[in-house]
A and B are shown apart, each in its own frame.
Chain A
Amino acid sequence: MAKYGKDPRAIGALVRDAEVHRDVYIDPEVFELEMEHLFPNSWIYVGHASQLSKAGDFITANIGRQPVVASRHTDGSIHLFYNRCPHKGVKIASEPCGNTGKFFRCPYHAWSFKTDGSLLAIPLKKGYEGTGFTDTQASGGLSRIRNVVVYRDFIFARLSENGVGFEDYFGESLSTIDNMADRSPEGKLAVEAAPIRYMHTCNWKMLVENQTDTCHPMVAHESSAGTAIKVWQREQGESTEKPMAVQLYGPFMSPYEFYEQSGIRIWPNGHGHTGVANSIHSNYSDVEGYLDRMVAAYGEKRAHEILGEVRHNTVYFPNIMVKGAVQILRNFIPIAVDRTLVESWVYRLVGAPDKLYERALMYNRFINAPTSIVGHDDLEMYERAQEGLKSNGNQWVNLRRLYESNEEPDVTAVINGTSERQMRNQFHAWAKFITMDMDQGVEAAE
């Protein structure tokens, strides 16, 4: 039975000022509507241009549940298509990445396509003469996704033909991606390896919300970060320099006051970040030679400006999180209402010392891997929430921390770092983008 149909009012009613209805996490129908409306109407991360360094390189990805392929064409341009042969629907690319040479060739009947998606050749072409083939969608080759923007090598796409433009959608939030890329003396990032993949049996939004949930680390991660500190204090002996591992785990146990002061910045359209004044990434030890290279590249003042911006987690609505200071991007890929694939990518700062890449890789396996003790703490909470929300005791999830009745939607503001306002910001955007292209005439039909 369809509870929500395509009724924007019914869906809008799931989001109150400071509460959301549990159906946004547990109702399969709401999940279907997200796939059909929210993801196509939003700008979604596809991949990084460094994964497409040569002509013929391709990567596959999902936008919501839509399988897509991005490719580097002979003229250097990047193109994005639905991963589906126009003949009988066979997936054109079956691997996460590769090089297809001069053209894609469908493995079923050998239709071939240029790397810009256009139809190159069909065997026994004569058989289509006079059949009206040229009037079909198939004759156009691979179905293209036209709204693609490559911003500082980050490839984003919007499936819907119409909607909010890239610049308007992200606005000032792009400053986190800028900061991450600027941390390379050459202003360039490179993907060198596959991501760490981690399957979560929970709704994708729980993961996104958790990125700016600053009241959980000292509680949920006492078991991991707290134990790491305890063991180090006991075993350190004479050594005074904290090992990299302890530097990475330790700050998770920072007290509430630390997070309160470090602040949260929100932006329109559901984006926002923790760690405005400082963050858990502020006190890592210096890497020898790095500052010199930065100063040589940018000058003293600009280099310090770049390295002084140590944001914690930046949420790009709807489903990625970027850590500029540690060069990590986490992609929360929705699989089902209670299933989310998390892919955590590390970027190498081109021209920076290896030690920074080593640290980013270490952070990624400490925090974002299926073997990560911090990950175990978090996933346990998500799984319990996914189960707990089935309870009929209360239909609402409470997001009221530091709520003010005059909160404006879609604004830029810096607030107390323990506020749940970024979560409210996300749900405002959620309601806006999921209903954006729904038929507003439902009311009349009732």
Chain B
Amino acid sequence: MDDRITLRLARYRPEEEAEPTFEEYEVPCRKDWVVLDGLNYIKDQLDGTLSFRWSCRMGICGSCGMTVNGEPKLTCETFLTDYAPGPVRIEPLQNFPVIRDLIVEMTDFMQKLTTIKPWIVRDEERPLAEGEYRQTPDEMSEYMQYSMCINCMLCYAACPVYSLDPKFIGPAAIALAQRYNLDSRDEGSGERLDILSQHEGIWACTFVGECTEVCPKDVDPAGAIQRYKLDAALTSLKSFLLPWGAR
């Protein structure tokens, strides 16, 4: 007989109820089961109406972020046994509007993503015939860490600034802007600095570093923000000293 564990799930069905409620389900607590396995067990065996997102179940697609016992987690790599004997409280990610049950709306992030121009910007594109851009392993390591973001939104759920000011462009978007800024093939950092500096929120970031702490992919968005602030301060200093616009 398997051990069992109780999952206390936030449920919200907007067509039926005005407020989220909690429901409890008992699921097997097996050694190799992650929280997501528990949720699928509920959906398949106990209650087909439960809704949540998932896909790869190997921590790379970024779909399955939820709040587990108060902390933002990828549920496909969070083991049930770590919470034994339970109960485990599972809620949608904080700081986002809830669409239903454990599913949050992230349209806002998708729009922000486009505004920071997350693509290689060049004055002149290199013809294919000239082969690859040379980029040494050292040059790569400048931006590599910031390119590992899976857009899982855990950092937004943990961010105290975003919770107060949803206009704040947020940790992952800034990290991605830095990913391109620091890429030796890119020439768009000026444009991106202008865009980011329009977002007041960034100066409100206090470097508490919650984003970096919860990030499952070690992206270190807090470091990216810090670096951005330095660059931005330098640039505005320069434009102050060289008002004719050298950048």
Are chains A and B native binding partners rather than an unrelated pairing?
no
Q: A residues bordering B, Cβ < 8 Å?
A: none
Q: B residues bordering A, Cβ < 8 Å?
A: none
